[in-house]
Structure 1
């Protein structure tokens, strides 16, 4: 393990992400005694605060976003003592000297969390360099978006690489900090039950769904320039696919795990040209009802017409020996029927049913890994219904459930950023995304977007509160597959 950093520098410290996630996460680590003793946290943004003003801001954020059972006046007070603030316009190099002076001695290491607009990456990196804040004992965590396509992503990464080599660059995908996502590795590689059938001989298909019931929710300016494909598929969903499809790594470390993930991402069959309309579905939510409330269309929320997709479904393939012929169905969207993030693995049916002549109907086994809002792993298996079977054998699909909330009831469920902050401070890159992963993801996504553009593909309307356009149902049903709903 590398030496933990003695100081943390938090860019975007007064933004919405900081209030909802970052400050509560850091408080949670502090309250549990997990932050290094003496670690200071310096926030910076354009807001005009001094140390006292930022501490008052942080206290208010903790009041709003930390659960009541986690609040402790003593812990809050000692956490606030760690906080300092330096106002900074990151677009101007001259302000960084004052920031460096505020930080003081960084000989014990500095971890930087950078959450800013892509246009500010260049000036920020140059400002950090000019102030001597990019040395060998400094590492940087980068919050997305890191570009909008492969070309712009390379530009951003080249800018960062001028000051921070890859081993000191930590690209954040907060999904990788979720406990259930990490449990994918434990499920696959900690149990002998699954790995022998975790391949094209044992698995019929895989579904990955990330659905939201919310609309724009204050993100109009960002979302309309991005859309569902780049907002969710390019990062979160492809990372989930890579964890499901990767080969067993030799060790649980950053190099081994990320080596195997990038092999999967490079093996994705391109969805390009004439295949794009047949293998993808795009949609945009219209008016409707979500949870009994009438909601407006995307155009109305945005207050202007738009061709941005709020829904996308894709049929993908991983072209290697393990997954030859196994489709991976990806689906994500806003204003859908329910909030859900899950992975569904349907195994192939038994080769011969001994129960068919006695009226017993079999269903293929299904493994469901639910990430949110509940966290559980469920294996659906066939069982015989009780009875004397005088009119035939009756079989029923029954679930074997592992509820993480129940099984680990005495363990607090942590915000994903808690783990990621701790790993950044300690220098463990395992749950962060490497540059070659990012570029492989963008290459696959860019081909789809180019296909949409060349084919004049426009998003199909769907009613809010539904599961998206009807074409998304056809995408799977022509293969004899039904979405898990």
Structure 2
């Protein structure tokens, strides 16, 4: 029997970009090895890259093309999510090139420019190139200056398109974000700047749009009349790893609340766009971000935490202050919980509880919409003791899918009503895994689709939410919590004083 979810005849034609090059600055770093190179292989394996597609690495290594190819081979084979095929790799490897040099090396950038020009004749690439900044933000100015000096950022000069991909963090606060945006926009046109927030590339996040706007079932109750509150959770069971230098200067709020979680909140709460044109979607998200308000009493309605030593998944975990290269007196938070509001007609009066943290019991990201209870229950109180609130939970990771929780009669001779859950998982329903976020986003860059990329206005508006929190927290000491716990006790009290509780994620 034909499965309509899998029949290729029912699918739209795949999006395949024009012949182009992907230039990766910082190609020997973790992001490139663990995410970008495997994503390129998976795209090639799915037949989504054009003939002659070129990967051009740039790094401060005394390497030739063969050395880079060896690194790329190991990275792709280790990180690939699609089956490994040597014939696919062999075709891809023919178009892997490397330019050695530092960011202040004019000669190296001249060589890079010449290499791109040569691709016109050797690979039929008419000037199309995307520059991926897999580098620290401090290096952005010098690289942008070099791209401007050599004319590599000039679409008119190249005869094709030239795009730049910028990884988060997008600044440290509102002022630095504005400065970064000005800097990038002074070299590339606004339409050629792609700011990556990899959470927006996750299949479940994109499915929020389908859930909201392709179904008449949910939209009528997606408002303050029926919704009691919304919970957004991003829990990590790991610590800071090798990111001490960055993380201690940023903290949980700047690291993930400003970008990942506010973007999730905006997509979840936005109004229906007139179309799925990128500008229309970004306009609706921006309206939500502008309507977000922080608590009047920030100290009372936010919680900052820092993990102590404890146990996670049966293994001992050191405390944050014992992590390598973390100052003993650090006041950086590894956990944040905050009560936000959206001041518009749809969401007025509905609290959005947002939390994120490291060294929590398990890795999970989810959005839970908790509905108000029915206004009248014609049951004996004893019959509904086990009945809670209806909930719709969107699981972003790791088990992508959705859960609908509602009340149902327990089989038997009495009218006992209890919560049950209907569980949808992508892997089971569609019998195939979802593309990895970077795979989707790299392809979007190459085809020029900016739908899933925040623009400068969204970034700056997000900092308008975060900056008041950071100012209020300045000089305060985070509350301790043990590694393996769900954050400080004060986070539970944040909801408990209003008769609510965190979902058991």
TM-score, with normalisation over the residues of structure 2?
A: 0.92
Partner of 1:301: 323
SS in structure 1 of the partner of residue 257 of structure 2: helix
Whether 1:401 aligns to 2:423 is yes
Shift of 1:3: 6.7
SS in structure 2 of the partner of residue 70 of structure 1: coil
Partner of 2:346: 322
Distance 1:162 1:315 in 2: 37
Whether 1:354 aligns to 2:395 is no
Whether 1:463 aligns to 2:504 is no
Partner of 2:453: 432
Whether 1:480 aligns to 2:480 is no
Partner of 2:358: 334
Whether 1:76 aligns to 2:89 is yes
What are the ranges of 5 or more consecutive residues in structure 1 without an aligned counterpart? none
SS in structure 2 of the partner of residue 458 of structure 1: coil
2:228–2:372 CA contact under 8 A, matched in 1: yes
Within 5 Å, which residues of 2 pair with 1:431-450?
Answer: 431-450=452-471
SS in structure 2 of the partner of residue 359 of structure 1: helix
1:281–1:313 CA contact under 8 A, matched in 2: yes
Partner of 1:367: 392
Shift of 1:48: 2.2
Aligned partner of 2:143 among 124, 133, 136: 124
Q: How many residues align?
A: 476
Partner of 1:258: 282
SS in structure 2 of the partner of residue 163 of structure 1: coil
2:392–2:405 CA contact under 8 A, matched in 1: yes
1:92–1:123 CA contact under 8 A, matched in 2: no
Distance 2:62 2:284 in 1: 45
Whether 1:286 aligns to 2:316 is no
Distance 2:16 2:410 in 1: 56
Partner of 1:89: 102
Whether 1:98 aligns to 2:120 is no
Q: Deviations over 1:397-423 (max 9, x none)?
A: 1111111110011x3322100010000
2:54–2:95 CA contact under 8 A, matched in 1: yes
Higher mean displacement: 6-15 or 339-348: 6-15
Partner of 1:11: 25
Within 5 Å, which residues of 2 pair with 1:35-46?
Answer: 35-46=49-60
Partner of 2:438: 417
Partner of 2:12: none
Partner of 2:271: 247
Distance 2:224 2:181 in 1: 36
Shift of 1:271: 3.9
TM-score, with normalisation over the residues of structure 1?
A: 0.95
Shift of 1:62: 2.0
Shift of 1:141: 1.1
Distance 1:395 1:3 in 2: 54
Aligned partner of 2:179 among 151, 155, 164: 155
SS in structure 2 of the partner of residue 116 of structure 1: coil
For the aligned residues, what is the CA RMSD?
1.6
SS in structure 2 of the partner of residue 200 of structure 1: coil
Aligned partner of 2:126 among 107, 110, 113: 107
Higher relative contact order (CA 8 A, sep 6+): 1
Whether 1:50 aligns to 2:74 is no
Shift of 1:44: 0.8
Shift of 1:347: 0.7
Shift of 1:187: 0.5
Aligned partner of 1:268 among 292, 297, 306: 292
Aligned partner of 1:190 among 208, 214, 217: 214
Q: Deviations over 1:98-138 (max 9, x none)?
A: 11112224634111111211111111111001111112221
Distance 1:188 1:293 in 2: 40
Aligned partner of 2:241 among 217, 220, 227: 217
1:227–1:309 CA contact under 8 A, matched in 2: yes
